[in-house]
Structure 1
Amino acid sequence: MSKVRKASEDADFRGPLDVMSAATFVLDGQDVVIGWSPAAQELLGYPPDEVIGRPVGAFLSSVAAPAAEVWPAGLIAAGAGGEPPIVPLPEHDLHLAVHRDGHRLYLVTAVCRLSGEGPAAQVLVAADRERLRDWESRLAMLQGLATQSPLGFAIYDTAFRLVWCNAASEVELGLPLEDVRGRLAEDLYPRGRFVTPGYPETLHEVMRQVIETGEPFLDLHFRGEQPSDPGKVHLWSCSYYRLEDTDGHVFGVCEDAFDISDRYEAQRQVNLLVEAGRRVGSTLDVIVTAEELADVAVPEFADLVQVDLAPAVLEGELPDVTGPEAPELIRASSRSSALLDTSHTPGAPSGATGPVTYPYGSPQHRSLASGGLVLEDDTLVVPLRAGGGALGIVTFVRGPGGGGTGIFGRDAVAVADELVARAAVSIDNARRYTRERSASLALQRQLLPQHLPSNSAVEVAHRYLPTDDLSGVGGDWFDVIPLSGTRVGLVVGDVVGHGLHAAATMGRLRTTVRALAPMDIPPDELLRLLDDLVGQSAQDNADALGTLAGDDDVAAGATCLYAVYDPVSRRCTMARAGHLPPAVVEPGGRVSFPDLPAGPPLGLGGLPFECLDVELPAGSLLALFTDGLVEARDRDIDKGLETLGRVLSEGTDSLEDLCDRVVSELLPGGTTTDDTALLLVRTRELDDRRVAAWHLPAEPVAAGRARELVAGRLTEWGLDELVFTTELIASELVTNAVRHAEGPLHLRLIHDRTLVCEVADAGHTAPHLRHSADDDEGGRGLFIVAQLVVRWGTRYCKEGKAIWTEQSLPPG
């Protein structure tokens, strides 16, 4: 505080030649000193009695001419030899004098001649040359502030009326000082306000606090219209400090202001780009990205922003919307500030989003036609370009006095171009993601069953949760495969890894299982064939990459569980390759995990797979799942199996509800660190009302007996329309078994969604369908049978084989 006070005291703007402070000599008509002021004695050190009566030329010598006389006391030293020449200040004389203590002084003098009677003829005023130079510098500074400074300076009295302003303020006000002197500050800037947080908003309140407290306000931001440029909003950096006279009386407040609109606008635009980089593109969604762009730009950059995209962009494709014919676009986003009326905005749809077209000649149409920016009045249209094509356009509109200051200058156009370019990259990324996700979902629909076929053997429900949320696919799979004799194949598998690579491997395995299962291969044999396939694929990859087969992830990480359920015998035969065993829930609620031999994971080779045959009461529940359901980082498999058993034992009438309960209990929030597949199966039984079986001797008469039995049972079932064809089928199959196989023979009819006819024998040789020559006496029976049925095939078992056929049931 003492330094501030000292600086204030030194800031004396009285001139050094002022008679109140300068050394003053009074001379008579012969230039003899007749008066000697105290300031003169202080400056030169001589008392009046040593000076009065002497001629002035005796002690003041011009620097330009050597002194003619030297006082005995050494008062004057004329012409110091060897010193550089001294240039006098303009309009003043420069003299050299020696202080009484011996040091030399350069004095600047001014003379005022007197008129009238009396001895006094003139007054000579002298001051130290350096002090005069300081004073001249201060005068130059004040002159520069008043006429040359780009800062606006104004002085207001205690009633907040304008007293004085410099040239910069006059330019800002658009009027000379004479026309605005005496006007109130708030009348000069009627709609302005301070926007610096924590300070008053009005000019008068700020000035009042400065006058009352004496504390200055520095760098307050004032926002308003410049009187000389109405309609355009400016921003000033203002400072205010109290003014006092020499007696300490407050007579007003000084304001200095500097227009920082351009600097503020530039900084705001930089901040806008930084904010856009932070907020635009936070998701891989085209619509959300367009909305983020509009949210960032309104109201900081424009009062209205509309983002229009080509319809193909929303589908993940790359269009090119430029050309002479403006295409129809989709309004992806529209944001406006409260300051702008958008009721007559060209092309605007009724809602926030929807189709939009622009008339010929509109800025949007011209931008689409040319592929470039179009600026028209307060509207700026910028194309969204990425990947070599135009994705759409962005329209910016500024209203008068809005956040965008009403017009688009060169800098604003550059910012809009950069802003749209950045948004285009994010929208293009979202478009690419949409395309890739669509492809992934299409792959998922192909690889996983979307609708499991209904059948009489089991009731099913399923859930699939991939870890890779981006692609929506993973390495786990499940399937339900209809087999001959109303049986059903149940499969669940797991391929190590996530994403498309694991999904593609899973797809090959699932396709292979679906191809092998209808061949009625036992589960252990099917897994062996699958193991050979995976091992061969791993070896092929190893040969191609020059690595060992054991290093292949698929070879070491693919597991599978395959089961076959027969609703007639209620028996389930299952085998697994390194997979978790299924959970079995009896109708009473007892849960068990069958002691099914584990078997090695697929692809290792060299180790056998074993089957387990269990009988399931009708209404039993089978749960087939992958380890992602029961294993987690904070939970081991045993704990997960225990939880799964508890939930399954509680039971529910709906398998869909039970699936939801299992997932919510074991995977809270639906999140999983590993792909998860769950298949719930409730078994059914086909009893004697739907199944008829007979034993026949391996004799020629067996064919006739088969026709009688078939006709009688079909009549009981109300299937009279199928009697003739079924008699023919049964007779032919039995005849073939008698001729080419071994007894005993077994005939079975199953009335299900189709009519199944089976003939089993002890032979292991399957019949082959062939075309008979014209001179062949036989060989046409199986060909005729194939024309009468929907499908037919051979199923092998330990005791032999069974030839089966399926016929469609009559309507109704």
Structure 2
Amino acid sequence: MEPTPTPAEHERPTQAPQPRGLDPEMTAALLDILVGESSIGLYVLDADLRRIPDGMDGVPAPGEAGAGADPSLAAALAAPEVRSLLRRALKEDRSVHQVRCMVHPPHATAREGRVLSVSARPLHDRDRRPLGIAVTLTDTTAAERAQRNLELLGRADTMIGSSLDVFRTAQELAAIAVPGLADGAAVDVLDVVFHGNAPPPGPLLEPATVRRAGFVTVVDLKGHAIYEVGSVRVMQPGKPYAHALADLTPRVVNDLSDDDAAAWLSRDPGRAALFRSVHVHSMVLVPLAARGVVLGLAAFYRAGDSEPFDDMDADVAQKLAARAALSLDNARLYTRERTLARIAQRQLLPGRVPTTWAVETAHAYLPVAAGGSWFDVIPLPGARVALVAGDVWRSGLRAATAMGQLRTAVHAFAAMDLEPVELLVRLHELTATAVVEEATSDLLAQGDGLNHDAVDTDDASPASCLYVVYDPVNRECQAVSAAHPPPVVTPSDGAPYTLDMPVGPALGRGTAEYRLTTFPVPAGSVLALFNQGLVRGRGRAEDGLAALVRALAGAPRRPLKALRDRLMTSVLPEGAEDDALLLLARTRGLGPHHLAYWELPDDPRSAGRARRLVAGRLTEWGEDALIPSAELLVSEVVTNSVRYAEGTIGLRLIRADSTICEVTDSVSAAPHLRLADDTDEGGRGLYLVSRFASRWGTRYSARGKTVWFELPHD
């Protein structure tokens, strides 16, 4: 039988097991985890901020635990910045958490300072009397440096490549690197890049011709000569600069005073003297390459008290150079396209403006932006002339191509002798079709497939056009505009003015609604056709159009080429920002001694009368050599009118650059040229006209049609 516990034993409470403290080895292992990293130090200081050196209960002193602890962190406890912070924490009896302190060890340079994160907690005894303070020091120098580098690269993303200009991009690279990465930066770009070209892919093994494109420094160069921005030199082999281009590998030179550096600097005494004078001691050389193409070299320097470059600095320099190289290559490709566009422009624009009886012309064209501006002087039947100015609202090769297409179309429509409004309507329809094709082509190029609903024509190339026809017989102009500035008219006996005329929509945009403006132009007047680029030039104190009108005062009395030069100087005092176009035309008139007009009845005998009238007038003009051909051709054309038309037949003879004969009737049906068989009795009239006339054609009017032909003078 089990003994029965006594009441005293039954009521005695059971004691809980007492917790057992950590043994010294376990405590040391824990401290190894806490302070084993070299960037963390854990320290205990007394109330006078003296470090407690001895272990506690066999535990190593904090800060000495862990083989990885950084001894220099303990030295940071003596830094004035840290001690001041700890004194305030003790005095105010409060904890501090992750306070940033910048400390400079003795004899350290400005760049050798350390950034510490300080946390501290006051220590008390059981009666809340201060015993000291526990301090944690974390070295955040590397983390802050990495953050600064990230911020530097972030600024580079927004600053580098703001334009498609090689010089500006190179200067942006130098400016972002100084002083964030270096004390000085120089960017040299291969000279061929400025012309849109590039060397073959791969390293550069031969001496390279480079142009200084960017340079920034915070160091006083003390009057030493340096390679100025824009200067050209040959980068000779045997130096780190050429080596970096030869193998496309960055170079880090941390000591420019060692024997290796002294060897190549001895062959470059000017650079050596500069380095010694301003105490340049370290440099990083990074090739500029993008898309497999070498573009140049970026050099970064440190001088004076700055730390030498290390691997992290070299990595940042490479990333900056990579961003700049891509922008430089974009600028190179843009330059190449612009050069090709200018070549295309030169080939597509008229090489020689034709001389006509109706007008004397002079022109100026500045292809600044390699856009799609164009002009033309097109002789028309009846001694008339068409003056054309146009603009494709883009730049580059695509704009030049579109300009060539429009110019060809205008020539084709003008050869059909279309009315100005009809010509512009057809040009609008042609451009609208081209705009849709261009947008569709871009969509297919993106690999999205053809979706007609997704075709966006807003980014395509619309254009403007001004078409002016001058008739020297009645001395009047007909003008129609598609989003192009109206001409400035300077009458022979009056002040210049801008023509008040309706301006229709741009070619290829909106509905083709164009209105014709007819206005008299006395002989000796000057017409000025231009584009927006001319009146938007820079450096002008007044409105460009006002300057143009003012400069045209007295235009009828000035030689036309001298007037052109005066206008360009007055309107563009500091050059153009865009393609600038100016076409001047001084009008001439045809007097009675150059004209003859008769009305013939609808009678078969009119053909004979026409022969006699034409022969008589040619004799008066001294053009007897033209009489046989003129009699034959006018007889055939009048006979056709008598056969197919009704009413009076008009016969007009014009003496200008050539002798022009026009026969007008009331039938709108066009005559057709055909080859008659040997057995046919007719059908040879227009064939004879095409063989003996230098030019012939048909134009239409509200009354009917006019068949005309020209006979050249000897």
Task: Identify whether the pair has TM-score above 0.5, normalized to the shorter chain.
Answer: yes
Q: Which residue of 1 aligns with 2:160?
A: 280
1:314·1:431 contact (CA, 8 Å) conserved in 2? Answer: yes
Q: Which residue of 1 aligns with 2:634?
A: 734
1:351 and 1:132 map into 2 onto residues whose CA distance is 61
Deviations 1:439-489 (CA, angstroms, capped at 9, x unpaired)? 6656766787798656453466889999xx9x7647x87654332343212
Q: Which residue of 1 aligns with 2:212?
A: 332
1:428 has 2:325 as partner: no
Q: Which residue of 2 aligns with 1:570?
A: 475
1:150 has 2:72 as partner: yes
1:412 has 2:313 as partner: yes
Partner SS state of residue 72, structure 2: coil
Correspondence for 1:758 among 635, 648, 660: 660
- Distance verdict in 2 for CA 1:151–1:681, change over 3 Å: same
Partner SS state of residue 284, structure 1: coil
- Distance verdict in 2 for CA 1:265–1:320, change over 3 Å: farther
- The alpha carbon displacement at 1:562 in A equals 3.8
1:518 and 1:588 map into 2 onto residues whose CA distance is 33
- Distance verdict in 2 for CA 1:683–1:521, change over 3 Å: same
2:305 and 2:371 map into 1 onto residues whose CA distance is 47
Correspondence for 2:286 among 382, 398, 404: 382
Structure with max Cα Rg: 1
1:315 and 1:281 map into 2 onto residues whose CA distance is 18
Q: Which residue of 1 aligns with 2:94?
A: none
- Distance verdict in 2 for CA 1:642–1:275, change over 3 Å: closer
1:733·1:803 contact (CA, 8 Å) conserved in 2? Answer: no
Q: Which residue of 2 aligns with 1:713?
A: 621
- The alpha carbon displacement at 1:383 in A equals 1.9
1:482·1:489 contact (CA, 8 Å) conserved in 2? Answer: yes
Q: Give matches, 1:25-40, under 5 Å.
A: none
Deviations 1:203-229 (CA, angstroms, capped at 9, x unpaired)? xxxxxxxxxxxxxxx978779966xxx
Deviations 1:112-134 (CA, angstroms, capped at 9, x unpaired)? xxxxxxxxxxxxxxxxxxx9999
Deviations 1:128-171 (CA, angstroms, capped at 9, x unpaired)? xxx99999974659x9999x9526979xxxxxxxxxxx9x99xx
Q: Which residue of 2 aligns with 1:354?
A: 232
Q: Which residue of 2 aligns with 1:616?
A: 521
Q: CA RMSD in A?
A: 6.6
- The alpha carbon displacement at 1:520 in A equals 1.9
- Distance verdict in 2 for CA 1:382–1:584, change over 3 Å: closer
2:495·2:553 contact (CA, 8 Å) conserved in 1? Answer: no
Partner SS state of residue 150, structure 1: helix
Correspondence for 2:411 among 514, 537, 545: 514
Partner SS state of residue 415, structure 1: helix
2:212·2:228 contact (CA, 8 Å) conserved in 1? Answer: no
1:579 and 1:306 map into 2 onto residues whose CA distance is 46
- Distance verdict in 2 for CA 1:438–1:590, change over 3 Å: same
Counterpart of 1:293, as a letter, is L
Q: Which residue of 2 aligns with 1:3?
A: none
Partner SS state of residue 515, structure 1: helix
Partner SS state of residue 289, structure 2: strand
Q: Which residue of 2 aligns with 1:294?
A: 174
1:684 has 2:588 as partner: yes
Q: Give matches, 1:492-641, under 5 Å.
A: 509-527=406-424, 529-530=426-427, 533=430, 546=452, 562-574=467-479, 586-589=491-494, 613-620=518-525
Question: Please, what TM-score do these two structures have when normalized by structure 1?
Answer: 0.51
2:75 and 2:513 map into 1 onto residues whose CA distance is 98
Deviations 1:513-547 (CA, angstroms, capped at 9, x unpaired)? 32111222222443454466467778999998546
2:533·2:577 contact (CA, 8 Å) conserved in 1? Answer: no
Asked which structure has the greater RCO (Cα within 8 Å, sep 6+), the reply is: 2
2:305 and 2:151 map into 1 onto residues whose CA distance is 14
1:488 has 2:394 as partner: no
1:333 and 1:138 map into 2 onto residues whose CA distance is 60
Deviations 1:683-742 (CA, angstroms, capped at 9, x unpaired)? 3324467x3547698455865875675466358xxxxxxx75x45643543354355455
Q: Which residue of 2 aligns with 1:246?
A: none
1:585·1:648 contact (CA, 8 Å) conserved in 2? Answer: no
Q: Which residue of 1 aligns with 2:270?
A: none
2:381 and 2:352 map into 1 onto residues whose CA distance is 20
Q: Give matches, 1:761-772, under 5 Å.
A: 761-762=663-664, 766=671, 768=673
1:491·1:560 contact (CA, 8 Å) conserved in 2? Answer: yes
1:532 and 1:260 map into 2 onto residues whose CA distance is 68
2:235 and 2:545 map into 1 onto residues whose CA distance is 61
- The alpha carbon displacement at 1:352 in A equals 4.5
Q: Which residue of 1 aligns with 2:655?
A: 749
2:374 and 2:567 map into 1 onto residues whose CA distance is 19
Partner SS state of residue 428, structure 1: helix
1:288 and 1:554 map into 2 onto residues whose CA distance is 27
Counterpart of 1:512, as a letter, is A
Counterpart of 2:478, as a letter, is T
1:370 has 2:292 as partner: no
Structure 1: runs of 5+ lacking an equivalent: 1-81, 88-130, 155-165, 170-195, 197-217, 227-231, 240-257, 632-639, 716-722
Deviations 1:95-120 (CA, angstroms, capped at 9, x unpaired)? xxxxxxxxxxxxxxxxxxxxxxxxxx
1:153 and 1:595 map into 2 onto residues whose CA distance is 86
- Distance verdict in 2 for CA 1:332–1:597, change over 3 Å: closer
2:110·2:306 contact (CA, 8 Å) conserved in 1? Answer: no
2:199·2:294 contact (CA, 8 Å) conserved in 1? Answer: yes
1:367 and 1:277 map into 2 onto residues whose CA distance is 24
1:462 and 1:545 map into 2 onto residues whose CA distance is 45
Counterpart of 1:333, as a letter, is A
Deviations 1:610-652 (CA, angstroms, capped at 9, x unpaired)? 7565432224455778999999xxxxxxxx9998999699675
Deviations 1:170-226 (CA, angstroms, capped at 9, x unpaired)? xxxxxxxxxxxxxxxxxxxxxxxxxx9xxxxxxxxxxxxxxxxxxxxx978779966
Aligned-pair identity (%): 34
1:235·1:261 contact (CA, 8 Å) conserved in 2? Answer: no
Counterpart of 2:385, as a letter, is V
Deviations 1:401-459 (CA, angstroms, capped at 9, x unpaired)? 53654x44323322322221222233233334434544665676678779865645346
- Distance verdict in 2 for CA 1:731–1:332, change over 3 Å: farther
Counterpart of 1:564, as a letter, is V
Structure 2: runs of 5+ lacking an equivalent: 1-16, 23-44, 56-60, 65-69, 82-99, 117-137, 257-282, 441-449, 537-542, 601-605, 643-648
Correspondence for 1:392 among 296, 311, 315: 296
1:622·1:680 contact (CA, 8 Å) conserved in 2? Answer: yes
2:46·2:52 contact (CA, 8 Å) conserved in 1? Answer: no
Partner SS state of residue 484, structure 1: coil
2:146 and 2:209 map into 1 onto residues whose CA distance is 33
Q: How many residues align?
A: 562
1:282 and 1:608 map into 2 onto residues whose CA distance is 40
1:681 and 1:513 map into 2 onto residues whose CA distance is 19
1:132 and 1:408 map into 2 onto residues whose CA distance is 41
